[in-house]
């Protein structure tokens, strides 16, 4: 089974809130000083899922794709060090300011260029923007099924049986292949890269493709061509007021609280 895994590099979600800044005029996040970007936490789980399927299947190739700046190479190297076979970095100054739909378009084009694939695995969402639309976008552009928020899967004849996480439980669905599956944190811990694999990964070359390499024109990408115009970007101001509810007995306090909540239309 040939599998493609999409991994994204994001600002470290553990960055303390105080170092998180937004340039409201440019509508951009200002990267925190001295804190290295990391792999989106769900994406190593997608890589782990690919490795387990490959091992159970006894063969096939795992190709890792990331769209991002040159530093996104580290996200690819991490997947290679976990045991993936090949890496492609989609990088182009023209990608600056792209939206989710353009990202999905570019990834779909790169996936078509990679060619033979049976399965595309992604994280359930990227922990920076947390929108979770890229997997669906890629599937719809490629015209193949998508199963989102998976916690487990196994090969089932020519298809795949996938266990999904729901709000109130789990469900198991079957899909034909090729398909896109997005992996959730319930999937379990990804493996740590072993020293030997890190050494092997260092010897592998990551291919770099530009927008033109995957057949995207300058009029399709970049901030000017977003499908999803960004109106404003700002850090919300959270206000909190504390009010002490007076009363002689707990019953009186509770009644006063209930009345206030009703007045505020909260209950």
Partner 1 sequence: MARDYAADISDPVAGEIVSNVGVWVDKEVVPVASDYEHEDAFPQPLVDGMANLGLFGIKVPEAYGGLDLSFECYAGVCMELARGWMSLAGIINTHVLVGYAIQEYGTEEQRQKFLPRLVEPEIRCALSITEPDAGSDAQAIKTQARRDGDDYVINGQKMWVTNGQRAGVYLVLTKTDPAASPAHRGISAFLVEAGTAGFTSGKKFDKLGYKGVETTELSFDDARVPASALLSGEEGRGFQHVMSALEVGRINVASRGVGVAQAAFDDAIRYAQKRVAFGKPIVEHQAQQIRLAEMATKIRAARLLTLDAARKKDSGVRSDLDAGMAKLFATEICQEVTLDALRIHGGVGYSKELPLERYYRDAPVMVIAEGTSDIQKIVIARNLLRDYPV
Ligand X SMILES: Cc1cc2nc3c(=O)[nH]c(=O)nc-3n(C[C@H](O)[C@H](O)[C@H](O)COP(=O)(O)OP(=O)(O)OC[C@H]3O[C@@H](n4cnc5c(N)ncnc54)[C@H](O)[C@@H]3O)c2cc1C
Choose the binding region for partner 1 from 8-16, 105-113, 146-154, 164-172 (rule: CB under 8 A). 8-16
109 lies in the site for ligand X, by CB under 6 A: no
80 lies in the site for partner 1, by CB under 8 A: no
**CA 189/CA 64 separation, integer angstroms:** 19
55 lies in the site for partner 1, by CB under 8 A: no
Min CB(151)–partner 1 separation in Å: 20
Contacts of 238 (CB under 8 A, 6+ apart): none
Quick one: 63 or 100, whose CB is closer to ligand X?
100
Q: According to CB under 6 A, which residues from 128 to 167 bind ligand X? A: 128-129, 131-135
* Residue choice 3, 4, 38, 79 for contact with partner 1 (CB under 8 A): 38
Q: According to CB under 8 A, which residues from 157 to 186 bind partner 1? A: none
Quick one: 134 or 201, whose CB is closer to ligand X?
134
**What totals of helices (H) and strands (E) does the chain contain, helices first?**
6, 13
- What Cα–Cα distance (Å) separates residue 155 from each residue in 56, 106, 124, 127, 173? 9, 28, 20, 28, 12
C-alpha of 61 from chain center: 21
Choose the binding region for partner 1 from 9-17, 93-101, 167-175, 217-225 (rule: CB under 8 A). 9-17
When CB distances to ligand X are compared, the closest residue is 123
- Is the torsion defined by CA of 202, 38, 88, 116 positive or negative? positive
Query: What does the per-residue mask of binding to partner 1 show for 192-231, with x meaning CB under 8 A?
Result: xxxxx-xx--x-----------------------------
* Residue choice 39, 67, 142, 201 for contact with ligand X (CB under 6 A): 67
Q: What are phi and psi of 205, to 5 degrees?
A: -95, 135
Given a contact cutoff of 8 angstroms between Cβ atoms, the answer to whether 50 and 62 are in contact is yes
Residue 98 binds what, of ligand X, partner 1, none (CB under 5 to 8 Å, by partner type)?
A: ligand X
Q: How far apart are the first and last CA of the chain?
A: 53
Tokens (6 digits) for 253: 């306090």
Pairing of strands 86-90, 3-6: unpaired
Q: Contact positions toward ligand X, by CB under 6 A?
A: 6-8, 28, 40, 42-43, 46, 65-69, 95-100, 103, 107, 122-123, 125-126, 128-129, 131-135, 230
């Amino acid at each position: 089974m040939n599998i493609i895994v999409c991994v994204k590099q994001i600002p470290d979600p553990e960055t303390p809130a105080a170092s998180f800044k937004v340039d409201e005029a440019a509508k951009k996040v200002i990267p925190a000083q001295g804190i290295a970007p990391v792999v989106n936490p769900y994406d190593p789980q997608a890589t782990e899922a690919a490795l387990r399927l490959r091992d159970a299947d006894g063969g096939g190739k795992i190709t890792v794709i990331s769209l991002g700046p040159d530093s996104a190479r580290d996200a690819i190297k991490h997947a290679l060090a976990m045991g993936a076979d090949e890496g492609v970095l989609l990088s182009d100054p023209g990608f600056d300011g792209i939206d989710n739909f353009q990202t999905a378009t570019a990834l779909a084009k790169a996936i078509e260029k990679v060619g033979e694939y049976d399965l595309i695995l992604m994280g359930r969402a990227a922990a920076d923007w947390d929108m979770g639309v890229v997997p669906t976008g890629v599937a719809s552009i490629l015209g193949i099924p998508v199963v989102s928020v998976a916690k487990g899967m196994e090969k089932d004849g020519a298809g795949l049986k996938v266990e999904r996480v729901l709000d109130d439980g789990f469900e198991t669905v079957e899909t034909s292949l090729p398909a896109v599956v997005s992996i959730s944190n319930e999937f379990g811990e990804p493996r740590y890269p072993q020293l030997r694999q890190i050494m092997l990964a260092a010897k592998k070359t990551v291919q770099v493709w530009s927008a033109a390499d995957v057949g995207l024109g300058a009029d399709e990408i970049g901030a000017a061509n977003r499908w999803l115009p960004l109106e404003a970007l700002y850090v919300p101001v959270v206000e909190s007021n504390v009010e002490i509810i007076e009363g002689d007995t707990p019953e009186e306090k509770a009644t006063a609280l209930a009345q206030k909540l009703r007045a505020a239309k909260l209950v």
